[in-house]
Chains A and B, each alone.
Chain A
Amino acid sequence: MSATTAPAWTKPQQQANWLVRLFDWKPFLAFACLLPAAGLLLVFLTYPLGLGIWLAFTDTTIGRSGYWVGIENFQYLLEDPLWWNAVFYSVFYTGIATIGKFALGLWLALLLNNHLPFKSLLRAIILLPWIVPTVLSAIAFWWIYDPQFSIISFLLVDKLGILDNYIDFLGSAWPARFSLIAANIWRGIPFVAISLLAGLQTISPSLYEAALLDGSTGWQRFRYITFPMLMPILAIVMTFSIIFTFTDFQLVYAITRGGPVNSTHLLATLAFQRGIPGGQLGEGAAIAVSMIPFLVFATLFSYFGLARRKWQQGEGND
């Protein structure tokens, strides 16, 4: 190389003013960027949540601000058979509906992932139950479950002659419970099916081809490729689905209002029933707050279920 050296030249240091320097200071920048989001969360999330929790520890009724009563509301709930009933039904409702939604949703997603004629039309149709407003579909179900005008009874009894008597779907506890679960499954399938379909489409077809050459049967391809590769998205979708189902309100309130004889109350409908029509705001709030442990549990489930599996982690060669 040549021995001559270039004349020394350094970029002149720009003397920045204090505002520029402030914005270059990371802690301030983080604070400034977080502020709007934090503000929104505070006003629309934390405040109502805080108020709800506060109410749960008072004996507030409508029209009378209450006094701090500690955990009295909760002690009372533990002795309340209605609350226990609602806990039982919430868990039962969530469990059975989730199993149903995922079994049918996964099946539909697998079906739609094949080459079918009118594929996009079919996908649009699948979304229908989800697009219809809940209350509207609740009214439809109300009709379907009507003791006299039910289409199901009509078909089974008058057309096919399989049964002798009309079914009383909503007249007694267990049929009513299962009828609501069926309605919830119907409503929940599109979300599950479409999400899982999106997940299925991220799986490279060449993996199936490789597995085909490796000698797999259709079931083995599902068991060893589709299912494990779908696991991460399955876990997310399931967590959301569980949370939505557990906190469901509209469907039950519109179809049965918790009846007959309080047998189909979910925690959400019971909380509303106690708090608003019943006027016992404190007690209603306590019921709502009692859902929190269950939801935390569901979220933890997602946290550990979702914890990025080892095979998804890139980088780090060791």
Chain B
Amino acid sequence: MATVEIRNVRKAFGPVQVLHGVNVDIADGEFVVLVGPSGCGKSTLLRMLAGLENITSGEIAIGPRVVNNVPPKDRDIAMVFQNYALYPHMTVFDNMAFSMKLAKAPKEVMEQEVGRAAKILGLEALLQRYPRQLSGGQRQRVAMGRAIVRNPQVFLFDEPLSNLDAKLRVQMRAEIKELHQRLRVTTVYVTHDQIEAMTMADKIVVMNGGHVEQVGPPLELYDRPANLFVAGFIGSPAMNLVKGGPGEGGFQAEGGAVLPLPQSARGEASIYGIRPEHIQLREDGIPATVVLVEPTGSETQVVARIGETPLTCAFRERVTARPGETIRIMPEMGLVHLFESGSGRRLAA
């Protein structure tokens, strides 16, 4: 196990700058998730950690050692690829034992180590199969087994669940999390799925366009998003972001709505953020016209318009209103987020 430090790392493919100075500190044994939209440079950063891409400038240290010029095989990391990259012509056993075979380990050691990993992942019965004969979830597990067998300092995962169906994804998510709790190996996990990030991470790094937008524990990102991008990216359904400015009796939205503003709110606030789950149905609320009702069972998502301003709401109670009808809603005052429109920065509230 080891710490990982990424210091002011930049990456350019020819003339194209992909990463613009990334700084991340990862503590020993931490589970860090890099999350961001497709194309923001997550995989590139992970591959630089693995040594599969060279580092244009900046430094990456694993443990006390700067690894910029250390070849991948000497970095003591193991990676699970998005497409799993299992060797198709080798059995599950051989796939998992490959690194030991290369190192000319004795057969007993290989059997013991593979057996241990197979037991952790429940792969004992599949060791003689070929990858083609496995389901997606099983392949995923073999790919993890191949990483576990290595006993690495750091695990790297590149969108390992994106090829699985929704149900399996939830299950594997739990399994990976549990695995981490058991092995306590420093892990860097890349995903574009913010729910995966929220549920698995000790610490989330939100990336966008080659920049780090915010680093912090999941609930901190949820409670205090540092800027508009993080506010919109974390949380599902996404936060309502309403343009406007402070005015008579609250926040004057461009669409005409007047929303309640906390006392402490400062004058320059020009974007008003409220999460759907922080809007309540209240007798004394603001009248809003229902546009869309989507019951999911545990909650009901409603899109309603105050004036011309649409707001997505998620109510725990069942809502019987139909489109066109009026409901009365009220944002929870203490949970309102305010942002500057130009920089998108959060206003301390």
Which A residues have a C-beta under 8 Å from some C-beta of B? 204, 206-207, 209-217, 220, 224-225, 228-229, 309-314, 316-317
The reply to whether the CB of B50 lies closer than 8 angstroms to some CB of chain A is: yes
Given contacts A206-B83, A214-B146, A217-B102, 20 further A-B contacts (CB under 8 A): A204-B83, A204-B85, A206-B81, A206-B85, A207-B87, A210-B79, A210-B81, A213-B50, A213-B72, A215-B99, A216-B73, A224-B87, A224-B98, A228-B89, A311-B130, A312-B88, A312-B132, A313-B133, A317-B133, A317-B135
Contacts of B90 in A (CB 8 A): 311
Of all chain B residues, the one with the shortest Cβ separation from A216 is B102
CB distance from B2 to the nearest CB of A (A): 16
Of all chain B residues, the one with the shortest Cβ separation from A310 is B130
The reply to whether the CB of B166 lies closer than 8 angstroms to some CB of chain A is: no
Which 6 A/B pairs are nearest by Cβ-Cβ distance? A215-B73, A206-B85, A214-B99, A210-B85, A311-B130, A311-B89
18 contacts between A and B (CB under 8 A): A206-B85, A209-B81, A210-B79, A211-B87, A212-B51, A213-B72, A214-B150, A215-B103, A220-B102, A228-B89, A309-B89, A310-B130, A311-B89, A311-B131, A312-B88, A314-B132, A314-B133, A317-B133
Chain B CB count within 10 A is highest, among A211, A217, A311, A317, for A311
CB distance from B89 to the nearest CB of A (A): 4
Q: How far apart are the CA atoms of A207 and B95 in the complex, in Å? A: 11
Q: How far apart are the CA atoms of A224 and B87 in the complex, in Å? A: 9
Q: Mark B49-92, 1 if CB is under 8 A from A, else 0.
A: 01110000000000000000000110001110101010111100
Which B residues have a C-beta under 8 Å from some C-beta of A? 50-52, 72-73, 77-79, 81, 83, 85, 87-90, 98-99, 101-103, 130-135, 146, 150
CB distance from B334 to the nearest CB of A (A): 48
Q: How far apart are the CA atoms of A42 and B51 in the complex, in Å? A: 60
In-complex Cβ contact of A210 among B87, B89, B135 (8 A): B87
Given contacts A207-B87, A225-B87, contact A213 B79 (CB under 8 A): yes
CB distance from B147 to the nearest CB of A (A): 9
In-complex Cβ contact of B132 among A204, A215, A216, A311 (8 A): A311
- Does B88 contact A311, Cβ atoms closer than 8 Å? yes
Contacts of B78 in A (CB 8 A): 213
Given contacts A224-B98, A316-B133, A317-B133, contact A212 B85 (CB under 8 A): no
Q: How far apart are the CA atoms of A95 and B349 in the complex, in Å? A: 83
In-complex Cβ contact of B102 among A204, A206, A214 (8 A): A214
- Does A213 contact B89, Cβ atoms closer than 8 Å? no
Contacts of B85 in A (CB 8 A): 204, 206-207, 209-210
Contacts of A210 in B (CB 8 A): 79, 81, 85, 87, 146
Contacts of B87 in A (CB 8 A): 207, 210-211, 224-225
Q: How far apart are the CA atoms of A225 and B85 in the complex, in Å? A: 12
Q: How far apart are the CA atoms of A138 and B47 in the complex, in Å? A: 52
Q: How far apart are the CA atoms of A214 and B96 in the complex, in Å? A: 10
Q: How far apart are the CA atoms of A174 and B88 in the complex, in Å? A: 46
Q: How far apart are the CA atoms of A225 and B98 in the complex, in Å? A: 11
- Does A211 contact B133, Cβ atoms closer than 8 Å? no
Contacts of A224 in B (CB 8 A): 87, 98, 101-102
Q: How far apart are the CA atoms of A316 and B133 in the complex, in Å? A: 7
Contacts of B98 in A (CB 8 A): 211, 214, 224
CB distance from B192 to the nearest CB of A (A): 18
- Does A212 contact B73, Cβ atoms closer than 8 Å? yes
Contacts of B101 in A (CB 8 A): 224
Q: How far apart are the CA atoms of A196 and B3 in the complex, in Å? A: 44
Chain B CB count within 10 A is highest, among A214, A216, A313, for A214
Contacts of A316 in B (CB 8 A): 133
Q: How far apart are the CA atoms of A209 and B132 in the complex, in Å? A: 20
Contacts of B79 in A (CB 8 A): 209-210, 213
